[in-house]
């Protein structure tokens, strides 16, 4: 089995679908109660309904730009058939959101080629508190379950807690952790981790980085230095720069995505804590606006609640 092929096998399982449905409950409840109010007393989809729907999407953290695209698409459908009933709105909305995500994010996770690089290097970025360390631990758990050799690099050396958390996850999952003393050079930790991964024949390296959104130039320099050092060991590394965002923060997640994508070459997103919020619409907006694949979503507390993001399954679950 190739690297990450296990996601294809497991994520379609009934238990994964059940976890997704449960994780999106709060978003669904908020979303549909708002839509019900938006169409109250209306039999057809008119301008008032579309105005109300626009407000529903914006307040569900889909984002203004993406909301306007969706409304425009529905408006075009409605103009072709003047007598579309409000009962058809959910169906229309689901179709248009799925189409939008498919068009804007053609590079889907399932189509990515893995296994060409050994070790495959993932650098994880994101601010403190978004679930970065937990995401690293859960991802390591999934990879380890498929008999892949994983090593974690504790390159967030500015917080003693960050290093300790990575070590705890390493023990819990049963994977090796490379760490140095607090205050060490993060690039040095990354270098040591990659060197030892090559020497030990490990399959995947996951490097944690400092979760500070200080000035953008500082962030850019720091992440740039880590990348440059990695390239000295493995010229193509890192193969993936994974930005972790907290879905419950709504518009703050958009701003963090903007800052990090300007600071480094983010090519994958993980959106966490979707089970604890009604702001799941943020996944739709971020996926559309930044044109970067959302690869993983966090829909619960358990080790198996980090899921591969499947656009169709996500939207279907939202409209169930």
Record the pTM. Answer: 0.89
Average pLDDT, integer, range 164-189: 94
* Percent of the chain surpassing pLDDT 90: 43
Residue pLDDT, tens place only, 205-248? 999 998 876 566 777 888 899 999 999 999 999 999 999 999 98
313 annotated as ligand-binding: no
264 annotated as ligand-binding: no
Write down the pLDDT at residue 113.
41
- Opening angle at CA 275, ends 270 and 279, nearest 5: 75
Average pLDDT, integer, range 157-171: 91
CATH topology of domain 120-319: Rossmann fold (3.40.50)
30 annotated as ligand-binding: no
Identify the three-state secondary structure at position 84: coil
211 annotated as ligand-binding: yes
134 annotated as ligand-binding: no
State the alpha helices, DSSP H only, in the chain: 5-10, 14-23, 25-38, 47-59, 64-80, 89-104, 132-145, 160-173, 186-200, 216-233, 251-263, 282-290, 311-318
More confident residue, 294 or 106: 294
273 annotated as ligand-binding: yes
Mean pLDDT (the chain) is 86
Residue 6 banded pLDDT, cuts 50, 70, 90: very low
Lowest-pLDDT range of 31-35, 199-203, 272-276? 31-35
127 annotated as ligand-binding: yes
54 contacts 67 by C-beta, under 8 angstroms: yes
Q: Do strands 294-298 and 120-125 pair parallel, antiparallel, or not at all (unpaired)? A: unpaired
Residue 121 banded pLDDT, cuts 50, 70, 90: very high
Domain ranges of the chain: 13-103, 120-319
Average pLDDT, integer, range 126-151: 91
Same CATH topology for 13-103 and 120-319: the answer is: no
Spatial separation of the C-alpha atoms in residues 59 and 112, rounded to whole Å:
33
23 annotated as ligand-binding: no
CATH topology of domain 13-103: 1.20.120
Residue 1 has pLDDT above 50, yes or no: no
281 annotated as ligand-binding: no
209 annotated as ligand-binding: yes
Residue pLDDT, tens place only, 60-97? 889 899 999 999 999 998 888 766 777 888 888 989 99
133 annotated as ligand-binding: yes
275 annotated as ligand-binding: yes
Residue 306 has pLDDT above 80, yes or no: yes
210 annotated as ligand-binding: yes
């Amino acid at each position: 089995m190739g690297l990450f092929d296990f996601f294809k096998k497991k994520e379609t399982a009934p238990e994964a679908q059940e976890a997704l449905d449960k994780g999106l409950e709060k978003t669904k409840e908020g979303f549909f109660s708002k839509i019900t109010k938006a169409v109250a007393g209306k039999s057809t989809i008119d301008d008032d309904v579309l105005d109300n729907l626009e407000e529903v999407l914006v307040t569900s953290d889909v984002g203004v730009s993406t909301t306007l695209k969706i409304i425009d698409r529905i408006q075009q459908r409605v103009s072709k058939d003047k007598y579309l009933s409000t009962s058809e709105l959910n169906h229309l909305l689901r179709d248009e959101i799925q189409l939008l995500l498919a068009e804007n994010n053609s590079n889907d996770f399932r189509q990515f080629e893995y296994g060409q690089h050994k070790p495959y290097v993932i650098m994880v970025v994101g601010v403190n508190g978004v679930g970065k360390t937990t995401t690293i631990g859960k991802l390591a758990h999934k990879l380890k379950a498929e008999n892949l050799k994983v090593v974690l690099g504790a390159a967030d050396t500015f917080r003693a807690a960050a290093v300790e958390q990575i070590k705890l996850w390493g023990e819990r999952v049963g994977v090796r952790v490379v760490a140095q003393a607090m205050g060490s050079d993060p690039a040095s930790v990354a270098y040591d981790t990659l060197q030892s991964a090559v020497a030990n024949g490990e399959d995947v390296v996951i490097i944690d980085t400092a979760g500070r959104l200080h000035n953008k130039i500082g962030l850019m320099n720091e992440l740039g230095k880590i990348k440059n050092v990695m390239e000295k060991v493995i010229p193509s590394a890192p193969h993936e720069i994974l930005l972790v965002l907290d879905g419950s923060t709504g518009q703050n997640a958009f701003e963090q995505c903007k800052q990090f994508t300007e600071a480094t070459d983010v090519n994958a997103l993980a959106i966490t804590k979707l089970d604890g919020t009604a702001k799941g619409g943020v996944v739709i907006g971020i996926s559309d606006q930044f044109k970067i694949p959302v690869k993983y979503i966090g829909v619960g507390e358990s080790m198996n609640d980090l899921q591969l993001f499947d656009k169709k399954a996500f939207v279907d679950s939202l409209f169930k």
